[in-house]
Amino acid sequence: MLQGKKIIIGITGSIAAFKIPHLIRLLRKQEAEVQVIMTPAALDFVTPLTLSTLSGKPVLIGFFKTDDGLWNSHIELAAWADVMMIAPASANTIGKIAAGLADNLMLAVYLAARCPVFLVPAMDADMYLHPSTQSNLTTLRQYGARIIDPVEGELASGLHGAGRMREPEEIVRILNDHFEKKNSFRKTKVLISAGPTHEPIDPVRYITNHSTGKMGYALAESFADRGADVILVSGPVSLEISHPNIRLIRVNSAAEMKNACSDHFAGADVIVMAAAVSDYRPESFSPEKIKKTEKILEIRLVKNDDILSWMGETAKRGQVLVGFALETTNELLNARKKLKAKKLDMIVLNSLRDQGAGFGHDTNRVTLISRKGDEIEIPLKTKKQISEDIVNFIGNWIHTRNLEE
């Protein structure tokens, strides 16, 4: 998969830089083109001569090549790359890129890069676990960077803990997976809903639920990474997303979500309704703030349209419709019923009884059910990993259906 792929390796000041010559050898063996850029701090750990010999290209460090005024264009470098990988990524560089700083060539290339960027952190465990490093990594994830998390193990300091860079062989496998998956949903239009809805009572109050949107956003990213054109209709959440293949439409109420979804439904090949849409809304909206004059306040609720059921009724042949079910009792039975009642192809069952699963958690445990009777239990994993499993399940479904037709 790596043959002819253009890969920028950005090396920063971390002792794990000693593993990068081996990484470059592995990439070159698979016929990738490798351009190394070093931060000045990286020069203390590995020599440009070793890296340029192995990569077959001069190593770039500063903005200016020589005294003759020639310069290394960060824009051209960024446009050249199919992938940029910052390995090892030190705590200092992670902090700088999260803040948008560009005071060396590698940082400027990162800021200009539109290609996927992988960050491979490597540092002492305490530095890695420090809240500022963790919050920088969360920010960078939201900006679309893929983090190849370090593992626990022996560290250069002699201590044992999290922060050890992944081995070059594993990094090469992750890159191979990336290029293999990249086009599996090319030319596929995917409509995804995410997050809760707000049903207004008066100008300051609304009815909502605990959904954070994490699952739907992770799904949008997984589809987009595989080349799909994604429309993400999101209820009010605090998440950000930035990906060239994702168009984000923000809505507030269930009625707005229905409008946005129906605008894009007919053109979608795959529809995944991950939103926790409010089933009811206040019958009337008070334009003035409701005063606490009454001892008992009654708010009458009326049913919202079920967007997914409407889609099930109107779907065209070939469209793939996926729903979510959040159940607290008789989970499997209820999910199978919902799949049938809403005329879905697949349903993702979340059980609130599972530890670490459901609203607000970064992890989830789900069961994937298809209308043909396939049922796959996915153990507790991060929502990002679960989203990959869901996308694989949908991909296999489409593949089998196409073979049968």
Q: Could you list the active site residues?
A: 209
Place of tokens 């000045």: 40
Report the residue number, 86 or 386, with the smaller CB distance to ligand CTP: 386
Strand 117-121 to 83-89 pairing: parallel
Whole-number minimum distance, CB 163 to ligand CTP, in Å? 39
Q: Which one, 172 or 368, has the nearer CB to ligand CTP?
A: 368
Quote the least distance from Cβ 260 to ligand CTP, whole Å.
12
Helix axes 307-314, 254-265, angle to 10 degrees: 20
Distance separating alpha carbons of residues 394 and 238, to the nearest angstrom: 27
> From the CB of 142, what's the least distance to ligand CTP, in Å?
23
Q: How far is the CB of 369 from ligand CTP (least distance, A)?
A: 13
The total of other beta-carbon atoms located within 10 Å of residue 66's CB is 8
Q: CB nearer to ligand CTP: give 39 or 364.
A: 364
Indicate the residue among 75 and 302 with the shorter CB distance to ligand CTP.
302
Bridge partners of residue 222, in order along the sequence: none
Backbone angles phi, psi at 222, to 5 degrees: -65, -40
Amino acid identity of residue 275, one-letter, is A
Amino acid found at 29:
K
DSSP state of 289: P
CB atoms within 10 A of CB 209: 15
The answer to whether the CB of 200 falls within 8 A of the CB of 208 is no
Task: Compare residues 9 and 257 and give the one whose CB is closer to ligand CTP.
Answer: 257
Q: Which residues bind ligand CTP (CB under 6 A)?
A: 193, 254, 273, 275, 277, 279, 304, 306-308, 323-326, 338
Q: How far is the CB of 382 from ligand CTP (least distance, A)?
A: 21
- DSSP codes joined into one string, 136-173: HHHHHHHTTPEE---EEEE-TTS-EEEEEPPPHHHHHH
Identify the CA nearest to 255 among candidates 203, 198, 201.
198
User: What DSSP letter does each residue of 336-398 carry, written as one string?
Assistant: HHHHHHTT-SEEEEEETTSTT-STT-SEEEEEEEETTS-EEEEEEEEHHHHHHHHHHHHHHHH
Minimum separation from the CB atom of position 227 to ligand CTP (A): 24
Nearer to ligand CTP, 232 or 326 (CB): 326
Separation of alpha carbons 243 and 139, rounded Å: 14
